[in-house]
A and B are shown apart, each in its own frame.
Chain A
Amino acid sequence: MTSQTKPDDKSAATTKAPEMLSGAAMVIRALADEGVEYLYGYPGGAVLHIYDALFQQNKVKHVLVRHEQAATHMADAYARASGKAGVVLVTSGPGATNAVTGIATAYMDSIPMVVLTGQVMSHLIGDDAFQETDMLGISRPICKHNMSVRRPEDIPYLIKKAFHIAQTGRPGPVVLDIPKDMTMPNQKFPYQYPAEINLRSYQPKQQGHAGQIKKAVTALLAAKKPVLYAGGGVIMGQAAEELTELAQLLNLPVTNTLMGLGAYPAGDKQFIGMLGMHGSYEANQSMHHADLILAVGARFDDRVTNNTKKFCPDATIIHIDIDPASISKTVNAHIPIVGLVKPVLTDMLAVLKQKKKKLDSAALQSWWQQIAQWRAVHGGRYDNAAPLLKPQYVIEQVAKITKGDAYVCSDVGQHQMFAAQYYPFNKPNRWINSGGLGTMGFGLPAAMGVKLNYPDADVVCVTGEGSIQMNIQELSTCKQYGLGVKIINLNNGYLGMVKQWQDMNYESRYASSYMDSLPDFVKLAEAYGHVGIRVTKPEELQPALERAFALKDQLVFLDIHVDPKEHVYPMQVPGGAMNEMFLSKTERT
Chain B
Amino acid sequence: MRHIISVLLENESGALARLVGLFAQRGYNIDSLNVAPTDDPTLSRLTLVTHGNDQVIEQISKQLHKLIEVVKVSDISEAAHIERELMLVKVKANGNQREEVKRCADIFRGQIIDVTPTTYTIQLVGTGDKLDAFIQALGATPILEVVRSGASGIARGEKTLAL
Residues of A that sit less than 8 Å from B by CB = 1-5, 136-137, 140-141, 144-148, 150, 165, 170, 199-202, 323-325, 328-329
Contacts and interface: CB of A to CB of B under 8 A. Distances in A.
A328 B58 contact: yes
A144 B68 CA distance: 8
B131 interface: no
A144 B11 CA distance: 18
A66 to B, nearest CB: 32
16 contacts: A1-B12, A3-B11, A5-B12, A140-B17, A140-B18, A144-B68, A146-B14, A147-B14, A148-B14, A200-B163, A201-B10, A201-B69, A201-B70, A325-B62, A328-B58, A329-B59
A1 B16 contact: yes
Contacts of A137: 17
Interface in B28-47: 41-42, 44
B68 A3 contact: no
A113 to B, nearest CB: 15
B52 interface: no
Interface residues of B, number: 26
Contacts of B25: 141
A2 B15 CA distance: 10
Interface string B16-27: 111001000100
Contacts of A202: 68
A13 to B, nearest CB: 22
Most B C-beta atoms less than 10 A away, residue of A3, A136, A148, A325: A325
B13 A2 contact: yes
A325 B12 contact: no
Contact of B42 (A3, A144, A328): A3
A329 B11 CA distance: 29
Given A1-B15, A146-B14, A140 B163 contact: no
A3 B42 CA distance: 7
A148 B65 CA distance: 22
Nearest to A2: B13
A324 B13 CA distance: 26
Contacts of B65: 324-325
A178 to B, nearest CB: 15
A329 B25 CA distance: 15
Most A C-beta atoms less than 10 A away, residue of B13, B17, B65, B66: B66
Nearest to A177: B14
A138 to B, nearest CB: 11
B71 A200 contact: yes
Contacts of A324: 62, 65
B69 A141 contact: no
Contacts of A1: 11-16, 44
B68 A165 contact: yes
Most A C-beta atoms less than 10 A away, residue of B18, B58, B68, B163: B68
B71 A141 contact: no
B14 A136 contact: yes
Given A5-B42, A200-B71, 16 more contacts: A1-B12, A1-B13, A1-B44, A2-B13, A3-B11, A3-B41, A5-B12, A147-B14, A148-B13, A170-B66, A201-B71, A202-B68, A325-B59, A325-B62, A325-B63, A328-B58
Contacts of B71: 200-201
| 7 A-B pairs closest in CB distance | A325-B62, A201-B71, A145-B68, A141-B25, A202-B68, A324-B62, A325-B63
B55 interface: yes
Contacts of A150: 13
Nearest to A3: B11
A147 B69 CA distance: 11
Contacts of B10: 5, 201
Interface in B59-111: 59, 62-63, 65-66, 68-71
Contacts of A144: 68
Most B C-beta atoms less than 10 A away, residue of A137, A200, A201: A201
A118 to B, nearest CB: 18
Contacts of A5: 10, 12, 42
Contacts of A148: 13-14
B68 to A, nearest CB: 5
A4 B13 contact: yes
Contacts of B16: 1
A325 B57 CA distance: 11
A397 B63 CA distance: 45
A5 B55 CA distance: 34
B93 to A, nearest CB: 37
Contacts of B70: 201
Contact of B66 (A2, A199, A323): A323
A172 B132 CA distance: 45
A226 B43 CA distance: 47
Most B C-beta atoms less than 10 A away, residue of A144, A165, A199, A200: A200
Given A141-B25, A201-B68, A201-B71, A328 B55 contact: yes
Contacts of A199: 68
Given A1-B15, A141-B21, A325 B163 contact: no
Contacts of A145: 68
A170 B18 CA distance: 18
B119 to A, nearest CB: 34
Contacts of B68: 144-145, 165, 199, 201-202
Contacts of B163: 200
Nearest to B14: A136
A5 B58 CA distance: 29
A147 B68 CA distance: 11
A145 B15 CA distance: 10
Nearest to B63: A325
Nearest to A201: B71
A466 B62 CA distance: 39
B10 to A, nearest CB: 5
B13 A140 contact: no
B12 A140 contact: no
A325 B21 CA distance: 17
Nearest to B18: A140
A460 B52 CA distance: 47
Contacts of B12: 1, 3-5
A140 B42 CA distance: 22
Most B C-beta atoms less than 10 A away, residue of A1, A144, A165: A1
A423 to B, nearest CB: 34
B14 A325 contact: no
Contacts of A329: 59
Contacts of A140: 14, 17-18, 21
Interface string B130-148: 0000000000000000000
A431 to B, nearest CB: 27
A202 B12 CA distance: 14
Nearest to B41: A3
Contacts of B17: 137, 140
A557 B103 CA distance: 86
